[in-house]
Every structure is written in C-alpha cells, then in structure tokens.
Structure 1
Amino acid sequence: MSNPPVEVLVYGLGAIGSFYAFILSCSEEVRLTVVARSNYDAVKANGIKITSGNHGEHHVRPYRVVKSAAEAGQKFDYIVCAHKAIDQSGVPPQIEPGVDAARTTIVIIQNGVGNEEPFRESFPTTTILSCVTWSGVRQPQPGVVTHTKSEDMQIGLYPNKARDSAAETARLTHFASLLATGKTVFQIVPNIQVQRWEKVVWNAAWNPLTTLTLMDSHSWLNSSEGATPMTKKVMKEVIDVARALGVPIEYELIDRLFERILRMPPIGSSMRTDYENGKPIEVDIILGYPPLIKGSS
C-alpha cells in the first residue's frame, strides 16, 4: 500500500514562489496546490513554465490552482508562504483554512526580519520553518519564470517552546529532503535569524538605492566617489541594529557582500521591479522593522 501524498500548498506564486513550487514538484511524494492571484488565469490554463540556468526547462502542472486556501478545502502538511512581505498580519487568516495545528508546518520564504511573528501569534503550536533565499528569479509574464545560475537558500527552525524539539527537527529534516530531491542548493542552519539579518544588510542597501536612483548596482557604484562609502554606511547601520539586539554579525560582512555584488553582473532589485510595475513594495519589513525593534528593545 502506497503512502499518502505529502500535501503542499504554495501561497504566493510570484517568481520565488513559482521557482520553489517547481523544486518541490520534483518529489514524487508531493501533491502540489498553489494559490495564485494576478497570474491565476495563466497558471490555471498553462501551468508554470520554468527556464533555469541550473535546472534546464520544465513545465509544472500543479495538482490544483486556486485563488485562496479556503477554496482548496483541505488541510496541508506544508504551507509555503512566498508572498511579498507587505501585509504580514493579514496572511495568517488567509491560510488558516489549510492549517491543522498538529499536522501543518508553515514555511516562510521571504526577505526581511520579524516575518515569523504574525504566524506564531496566530498558530502558537504550529511548527514554523524560516528560509532566506539568494536566487535570481524573474516572472516576465504570468506563469513564465526565468532563473539565472544564482541559487542558494538557508533554512532553519523558528523555535517553538510549545512543541517537542525532536518533532520540530523531524519536520525540518523532512522538508529539507523534499528540497534535496529538487536538487536545489540549501543549507540547514542553527540560528536562521543570523542569515535573515545578513540578507537585510544586503536588501536595505541595494533595494532602496537601485529604486531611488533607477540605476543598477554597478551603475550606482560608478556614479560618484561617494556611492561606495554611502552604501557601506547603510550596511553598517543595519549591522549596528542587529548587534544591539544580540545577533552575532561581524562588520566584515560588508566586505563579503561587496565582493559578492562585484562578482555578479549588474543587478536591479525586486523593490525596483515592483516600483516600475506599479506594485506595492517591501518597505517596512526591510527598512522599517529593524529600527522599530531596536527602538522597542
């Protein structure tokens, strides 16, 4: 007798959500349901087309394409939240119809810090996995995703004192096995908040600078003698906040991130893309939340 499928819901089918929907669909264990909004019609009709520098070309046909978790009418083993972190407090009620507190694991794949708190408040006994991704993915048209060779993720537990730690680790290990089947690059880390803050150091610099100037990263750095010092100052200020909160991040991270950007071709940012497309942008979770929690500490 075959095992029942692993029921996975991907909530937020933008570029990142679509990419990891593809990765998870590679496992024969997984039965994939996706919540799509602006690209609903395209994905419902044609599925998701992926062109990847690492994985080649693929066509993903989810088991179900729905407009809401409630429409799916079932509970899930994993709910992957890959939506833009614009209104975090509004999302838990949206996914609640798919949550079984004892069975469901919530997986958060987003930029920013503090992302997990609204989910913990709404689901106090549910396992939460938190992920940071460094993947070059775009959705140039609905349901069509292009991926460069840039691909990395860190994943870890958002610890829950209400659950047995061994049981939580087992959930993490199982989800990691699904990622491994999809041959994506990832690392399990002991304190995911370190990686979250490291990514915020990156995002807090490049997202607003490329959006406000409408320049790519390299054009900005070459625009004046003050561009590099200003960028490093922004990064340092974020590290100052992290360290004040007890997050063990060293200032040498700034040099590592500069080495990373200089190795890459010129890039914009997701914030700039959203601005140019007239979409809401992730301001608070990247730029507002760090000083807010520093001020309340």
Structure 2
Amino acid sequence: MELKARVLIVGGGAIGGLFAWRLSLSRDVVVSLVCRSNYAQVKSSGFLITSAQFGSGIYRPKGVYQTVEQAVATEGGAYDYVIVALKALPNIYDSSERIAAAVGPNTMIVLFQNGIGIEEPFVTRFPHNPLVSSVSFVSVKQETPGELRHGGFSLLAAGLHNPRTTLNGADYERLQFLFNAFESQGVSCIIEADIQPYRWQKHILNGSTNPVSVICGGSSCQDMVKNAHCKWLLEQSMAEIFVLGKTVTGKSFPGVDGIVDPQSATDYIRSIPVPVYTSMLVDSQCKRPMERDVILKNPIALAEKHGVDVPHMRALYALTTMIEEGYASK
C-alpha cells in the first residue's frame, strides 16, 4: 500500500477551502481540514465551488474538524504538513499556538496568511521545524458558508523562512513535493530563496485597498480607483509600501501582474472585470476583527526601524483602529 503525505489545512475559509480542494485531487497526499464558522455546512454538504479556472463542483473533504485537537485525536499523531490558512490576528490570538497539537518534530509548517511579519510567532514556538512562508495570488471569495467563487488565476510563491535554523536539501525537497502536488492540479507555483519581495509585492494592494475600502464605507476596489481623490490616496499609500518594502528587503519587487509602481497597480485594479471587495471590508461589515496589525501596524514598526516616513499608512492605521474599536465596543 502506497503511503501518502498527510496534510492538515487549518482554516477552511476561501483560501483554505480552495487550496484544500486542489491539493486533495493529487494522488500523493491526503488532506484534512479544520473549519470554524462554516464547519456545519462543510461537514454536511462540503464546498460548492465555482471557478473560472478550474470549473465548478462540490468538494467534500475527507476529514473535516472543528479544532486541531479533534483532528489529531481522530486521525492520530502529528502531520507531515500543516498549512495555516487562518486570518492573521496577533492582537486576538496566536496562530502558532492554535496548530501546536498537530506539529511534530518532522512537520513542515506552511503559512498561507496575508501581511508582513507573520512568521515570527512560528519561528519562536517551533524553532526546529522547517517553516515555509507562502504568498497566494488568487481572487477567491466565500460568498456564503461553504460557497466559494474563484477567478481565473492561482499562483503560490513560497520560500523557506528559518532564520535561526540551518536548512538542508531535504527541506527543499519536501517543499518541492508539496508544490508538485499543487501544480499537478493546475496551481502555478514558484519557490524562491527569498520570498519576502513577493510578500511585499502582494502588500502593495493589501496594504492600500484593504484599509481605504473600510474608510470609504463599502466601495469596491474599482470604484475607489475611479474616484480621483481616493485614487490619489491609494497611490500615495502604495508609494510608501514600495519604498518601505525595498528598504526592508534590499531588493526590487518581482512585478507580479505587471505591478511595478502605484500607477500600474491602480491600472491593474481598473482592468479587473468584476467588482472586488477586500477582506478587511467584509470583516468590518460583519463586525469582526480586521487584520490591521499585519496589514498596517507591523509595516509601520518596520518603517520606524528603518527610518522610512509613512504618514499615509499611519493615518490609515489610526482610522481603521478607531472604526474597529467603535463596533467592537457595542
């Protein structure tokens, strides 16, 4: 009997659900999923997925659990790979603590989280485990619990991130094995020695459109770039991210989607044919915590460390924090 790699994906939202679906179709892995708010729907009916790239279908995960502890108790022992697709909310919970029960000495931890500075809690808690920082370039939304709508493109860029551990060739081979499984099911994958320029590349859009959409009170990304005043604010914020990211990494960004400056970024947003609403906007409308720490607070801290002026990012952080504190107190 052929042994398959055991993968636990923690976080069954839009990103976790989509990539669990693709990975589960590979013959080389067996995938289980930890869901939270959509657990009941996914457990009973699976995911209903509409994808411009992959077609439509129903995905019923082999194992669906409410907690990591439940998954470990049911399936037994640590996993070969733990993919973290939780929202990065360090001011609310520690994502590294939430996966601890599933991590053994040989577990590779793979982060599918947005933002800057997300790796440190995992390095601190699991200093001897190979840690992969992955950036997903994909448009996918969970419209209702268990119902996913995906666009026509999916790209994963990843690299090993273990500043206190000596990495070896076996770690790269294990990462390559996982990404080969993704690629066998149509997901484009890139492995980089230094993933941080890709993380900052994605942050050009994440760090600008997310907070501005919340402050605008519900506008789509396309509507924001159509408004001259809002477009100016977006481009000013993006310019700060370009300067800060290049200063922190010492490298230029890879130019994914042709985004090489603020103008090309807003041109890219304008070219998207269907309205795009940011995750922070959806969270604010649902009165949930927003990822403002990893989207804004952590980059601002790096700006202070490196002597980079980011007045627009500071203003966005102040305003989104005030908005969240306003509805959280009610």
TM-score higher than 0.5: yes
Q: Which residue is equivalent to 1:264?
A: 272
CA apart distance, 1:149: 1.3
Q: Which residue is equivalent to 2:324?
A: none
Q: In the alignment, which of 184, 191, 194 is matched to residue 181 of structure 1?
A: 184
Q: In the alignment, which of 78, 89, 105 is matched to residue 75 of structure 1?
A: 78
Q: Which residue is equivalent to 2:170?
A: 167
AA in 1 matched with 2:101: P
What is the CA–CA distance in structure 2 between the aligned matches of 1:156 and 1:246, rounded to whole Å? 14
SS at match of 2:154: coil
Q: Which runs of 5+ in 2 are unaligned?
A: 254-258, 307-330
Q: Which runs of 5+ in 1 are unaligned?
A: none
Note if contact 1:51-1:147 (Cα within 8 Å) is conserved in structure 2.
yes
Note if contact 1:125-1:160 (Cα within 8 Å) is conserved in structure 2.
no
What is the CA–CA distance in structure 2 between the aligned matches of 1:57 and 1:8, rounded to whole Å? 24
AA in 2 matched with 1:227: C
CA apart distance, 1:161: 4.8
Aligned residues: 294
Superposition pairs of residues 1-297 of structure 1, within 5 angstroms: 2-73=1-72, 74-87=77-90, 90-101=94-105, 103-213=106-216, 214-223=218-227, 225-249=228-252, 252-265=260-273, 266-297=275-306
CA apart distance, 1:160: 4.7
Note if contact 1:25-1:182 (Cα within 8 Å) is conserved in structure 2.
no
What is the CA–CA distance in structure 1 between the aligned matches of 2:168 and 2:250, rounded to whole Å? 22
User: How high is the sequence identity, in percent, across the aligned residues?
Assistant: 28
Note if contact 2:196-2:249 (Cα within 8 Å) is conserved in structure 1.
no
TM-score (normalizing by structure 1): 0.92
What is the CA–CA distance in structure 2 between the aligned matches of 1:182 and 1:246, rounded to whole Å? 32
What is the CA–CA distance in structure 2 between the aligned matches of 1:290 and 1:219, rounded to whole Å? 26
What is the CA–CA distance in structure 2 between the aligned matches of 1:199 and 1:46, rounded to whole Å? 33
AA in 2 matched with 1:59: I
1:95–1:232 Cα change, 3 Å: same
CA apart distance, 1:167: 1.6
Note if contact 2:127-2:164 (Cα within 8 Å) is conserved in structure 1.
no
Note if contact 1:47-1:143 (Cα within 8 Å) is conserved in structure 2.
yes
Bigger CA drift: 239-248 or 31-40?
239-248
CA apart distance, 1:93: 1.8
What is the CA–CA distance in structure 1 between the aligned matches of 2:108 and 2:163, rounded to whole Å? 12
Bigger CA drift: 107-116 or 89-98?
89-98
Note if contact 2:6-2:80 (Cα within 8 Å) is conserved in structure 1.
yes
1:205-226 per-position Cα deviation (integer Å, ceiling 9, x unaligned):
1111122112112222222x33
CA apart distance, 1:185: 2.1
AA in 2 matched with 1:49: L
Bigger CA drift: 55-64 or 130-139?
55-64
AA in 2 matched with 1:258: T
RMSD (CA atoms): 1.9
What is the CA–CA distance in structure 1 between the aligned matches of 2:225 and 2:109, rounded to whole Å? 38
